[in-house]
Structure 1
């Protein structure tokens, strides 16, 4: 049986808000939530209760929106996985499966170990892609609307646009909705040197993954603030954007993460340029606004495999898997 691997990648996108006020940064990149830490929740794997603590103290589970969140390291290691930290790409990397996988990633203390795999994975020479030149933000060019459903069995074709309406509800921030039209216009390989040329630290080489640069169009229509929260009576227009997730393959391998900001021409930086021109608009209850933007996203993918880029709806009334929207990358 082919082993499966999950890479959980938290991409570096903090740089997209350089020079922006704290309020706009928080609304555009991170969402403030109200959650509860519950030491009464136990995590049991194969009959064994896990120790959810480290050198910093207890890492009690957190309850938010009816879901419980537990430390990835303790759970993954209890299930036979290996958890490492890659400071070059700010990635928490979880690997499971056969020992033939290449786990040559830096450890959480910054040191690097490179075990010799039993069966070396084939490597593909990384293409050299020059750093992209920052384009002037322009309105997306029209694309043919897709008739596909965006499911795993009926993904959106490359170059086709997909329109859907999504809602967001959180007691502190309030309720909002918007119609999104998303299109992947182009997919190009980008080398580790190309990523470094964009201003990032050079990522660690990995035998199972490579990177591509997506050029995407995004149209946000009728972004509406529906109901104020317990702490906020407005929202920023910049926070009204689709939920990106990462990639999946047909056999279930996943990489959770992307980099949409921190470099010239990126989707997030172009979005902030537009918001700056609009003086960072706020939405009060009942107010609606729209905007269009084009930009680039760096995406890690699995080599020699079919990869689907995933958007994730934020509608909490949907089942988790039903929130995914699949886009072909070739």
Structure 2
């Protein structure tokens, strides 16, 4: 996976608007809203450090400022990105977060969900699909942070240890069982390719973004139907400030211990 940064050109300057509004917020922000009558002002032009600038959304569409009771309001995200700041949204507290140094806020460690493992340490497919989805989302968060650490250190030992702890070894009676070493090698090759394709500075910044991933930011990409052969779950994280090619997918695949078995063992953990 090639890391490609998706960010507007950075201008160093100050915000000249009297007040800011956030471009797009979660539905939870509806509480406390007050209806007003305001105007989109298409006549106002902007310059940052002498350069003409037009506020736009993430799709490149123009966002004219709003004039209300003598004050001019600009979209916070567009202004923050144009001036090199970090802007984010905390859905839990309805808070716009702006860091003038451009750094993402340090995320508190979330409570880890216990992995459904057997006495031998191998993860099993247990409970309802919804329960398994929740448990594996927490595991995906762990894997993404392990990936971030590997990008910074070029060391795959933490991922290798995870594979050894939770996945089944290759079984001779299974034509689809590839074994632990296969997925260790796959991760190592993917990591090396990512590091080679990007500058050290971009890799470091990207890895630090991944380290801050929260459970709520991890989306379910796909869950296959459960069959007599197995079932797999795939999750995706879209790091803010980076383009779609920089998204991280984590896949967990369970296979029946033997044909038509009621026991399903974790065979694959992969990142791409």
TM-score range, shorter chain: under 0.3
Normalization by structure 1: what TM-score? Answer: 0.23
Which has a greater percent of strand? 1
Larger Rg: 2
- Whichever structure has more helix as a proportion of its residues is 2
